[in-house]
A and B are shown apart, each in its own frame.
Chain A
Amino acid sequence: MFLALRDLKRGARRFLLLGVVIALVAILSTVLSGLATGLVTDGISGLRALPFERLAFGEGAEATFSRSSLRPPALDAYAALPGVKATPLGASFANAAPVDGGPNLDVALFGVSADSFLVQRADARAALSGTPGLILTSELEDEGVKVGDRYTLGAADLTLPVLGFTYAGTYGHAPIAFTSLETWQQIQYGNGADGRFSAIALSGTDRGLDRAAKATHTDVLTKDEAYAGSPGYTAETTTMTMIRAFLLIISALVIGAFFTVLTVQRTRQIGLLKAMGASNGYVLRDGIGQMAILVSIATISGVLIGGLLVFALSRTPAPVELNLPAVALVTVSLIVAGILGSLTAFRRVTQVEPAIALGVES
């Protein structure tokens, strides 16, 4: 890349425009990646934080709590398996209207047994087994909710006090409120609950789960599989993946078009190199190497700027999160797309005749 490097250094202005375009694509890709990670995290941080490994849903519920309703015999079947811990989980969305002032809350209401492995803090266990109330995710404390505030939930018009705050996260972009399973059932079904709940949280070995699932007409999903049921999760990830794929294609095409124009402009130079005895491989290495260097510098600059932007945004309520593997993937895939794009000029380079070196310069 003898020629390519000096060309880049001394003709930097010619490459500036393309460099800026690639950097902008890299910035956009990084911010989108941050947004994708942030949205996903925002949608499922509640599930991620809970210490279970699998969830059993009613058959065909496809990880959606509202489609799944189970009864105690199903729970017993799992609980009877050796090495398996199983506990019921009630999950639904509810509006919590303030009684004595404070913000109105749309929450993901999780009903858990106070003595289950899902509740790990001793003070939380004590709170949930006492008088009915809510344990809210700590973000709500920042929004002005205080311990002791009372909220009316659901159709049952049950009024519950805020018992405390914990790091609970969100589910389907709604802040999570924990309550006891009994209270959840009361809110969800009134007095006709009949022991129903949404899903079974499982921990421990996976031996025997298949059999239990078959016997109880339930589906066992891993935690990762269960994320897909979070409202918006699939749509968000698909949209983000699609936008990022388009950005990759766009940048490959832009680089291909630019490199093609550059190759046409350089036809005489290429002919001259070939007249000097340079092989097609030499000329291609020089040209594609030049694009690779340019794309790498522009992409890395763009990713760094994008990273700073994401970092700045992460201090606002915007759901963004910097994820290093995701950012590394953005960087590598943009560079690879750029190199693939520059391959479109491959034939143009190999077809230049050395004889044009003797032609009179225009």
Chain B
Amino acid sequence: MTNQPALSLDGVRVAFRDGLDERAVLDDLSLDVAGGELLVVSGRSGAGKSTLLAVAGLLRRADHGDVRIDGTSTAALNERRRSVVRRDHIAFVYQSANLFPSLTAVEQLELVGHIRNEPSGEVRHRARALLEDLDLADRADQLPAQMSGGERQRVGIARALMASPTVLIADEPTASLDPERAKVVAELLASAAHDRDIATLVVAHDSAALQHADRHLRLDSGRLHHVED
């Protein structure tokens, strides 16, 4: 078998109507992310970074082009099949952790197993172990409202890892944290990518995240450009 990239975007185009014109936010964009690679994308506000992540994570369809997960094309899949690919291969980390307010930390993780219809005993065990790995064992039974912003974000990452994803997608995961906490979260994402062999696509601007990047690209005028740092 050839060494396929875990995530691969091929000739992706997304355009929005802007009055009478059409404005391409992503324009014939191609990108490969290998398993275990941490790729950081930056760009000015409105450049289309979140749109890129939404396409790569199968949250929205591109107008043209294809997204391949582990070499499997998704362009022709219906919504139902795309949601199954998401469930089995893709996980997200958000700027605000996006936790469910009525679930404790461990239940946030268990929900992932529940959606996948996995046996609940095994899921609970794995969830606790993962929280322990991320140094969150003492937060396991607390609700999001009882946690700090940094703790919420780490629980969000634990939830993403719970899915054992092929691809991890994070939209400004460190933007709302102070530099100290941002550093912890960035390190966490980097070690997740490297230790668990996850293709990790992160949108970030801060040095904490960039420090750990294997590759850094800038989104501008619908295309990705190399950044030498």
Q: Do the two chains bind?
A: yes
A residues lining the B interface (CB < 8 Å): 2-3, 6-7, 9-11, 268-269, 272-279, 282, 353-355, 357-361
Cα–Cα distance between A354 and B84 once the two chains are bound (Å): 13
Tell me whether B31 is interfacial, beta carbon within 8 Å.
Answer: no
| A1 to chain B: closest residue by CB | B114
| B112 to chain A: closest residue by CB | A276
Partner of A10, one of B53, B83, B91, B143: B143
| B110 to chain A: closest residue by CB | A2
Is A358 a contact partner of B83 (Cβ separation < 8 A)? no
Is B83 a contact partner of A278 (Cβ separation < 8 A)? yes
CB within 8 Å for A357 and B92 given contacts A10-B102, A276-B115? yes
Tell me which residues across on chain B come within 8 A of A6, comparing CB atoms: 102-103, 107
Tell me which residues across on chain A come within 8 A of B96, comparing CB atoms: 360-361
Give the distance to chain B from A293, nearest Cβ to Cβ, in Å: 14
Is A276 a contact partner of B111 (Cβ separation < 8 A)? yes
B residues lining the A interface (CB < 8 Å): 50, 53-54, 57, 59-60, 80, 83-88, 90-92, 94-96, 98, 100-103, 107, 110-112, 114-116, 143, 163, 171
Is B114 a contact partner of A2 (Cβ separation < 8 A)? yes
Top 7 closest A-B pairs, CB basis?
A: A277-B87, A355-B59, A277-B86, A2-B114, A355-B60, A7-B102, A10-B102
CB within 8 Å for A358 and B54 given contacts A6-B107, A274-B83, A277-B88? yes
- SS of A interface (majority): helix
CB within 8 Å for A3 and B83 given contacts A269-B100, A358-B54, A358-B171? no
Give the distance to chain B from A277, nearest Cβ to Cβ, in Å: 2
Extra inter-chain contacts (13) besides given A357-B94, A358-B53, CB under 8 Å: A2-B110, A3-B100, A3-B103, A7-B102, A272-B98, A275-B92, A276-B87, A277-B115, A278-B87, A353-B60, A355-B54, A357-B59, A357-B92
Cα–Cα distance between A353 and B53 once the two chains are bound (Å): 15
Q: How many inter-chain contacts with C-beta < 8 Å in the A-B complex?
A: 78
Cα–Cα distance between A277 and B84 once the two chains are bound (Å): 6
| B143 to chain A: closest residue by CB | A10
Tell me which residues across on chain A come within 8 A of B87, comparing CB atoms: 276-278
Cα–Cα distance between A10 and B83 once the two chains are bound (Å): 29
| B171 to chain A: closest residue by CB | A358
Tell me which residues across on chain B come within 8 A of A7, comparing CB atoms: 102
Tell me which residues across on chain B come within 8 A of A10, comparing CB atoms: 102, 143
**Can you report 29 A-B residue pairs in the complex whose CB atoms are below 8 A from each other?**
A2-B107, A3-B102, A3-B103, A6-B102, A10-B143, A11-B101, A11-B102, A269-B100, A272-B98, A275-B86, A276-B91, A276-B92, A276-B111, A276-B112, A277-B90, A279-B80, A279-B84, A353-B60, A354-B59, A354-B83, A355-B59, A357-B98, A358-B50, A358-B53, A358-B57, A358-B59, A359-B50, A360-B95, A360-B96
Tell me which residues across on chain A come within 8 A of B100, comparing CB atoms: 3, 269, 272
Tell me which residues across on chain B come within 8 A of A3, comparing CB atoms: 100, 102-103, 111
Give the distance to chain B from A321, nearest Cβ to Cβ, in Å: 43
Is B115 a contact partner of A273 (Cβ separation < 8 A)? yes
Cα–Cα distance between A2 and B124 once the two chains are bound (Å): 13
Is A278 a contact partner of B102 (Cβ separation < 8 A)? no
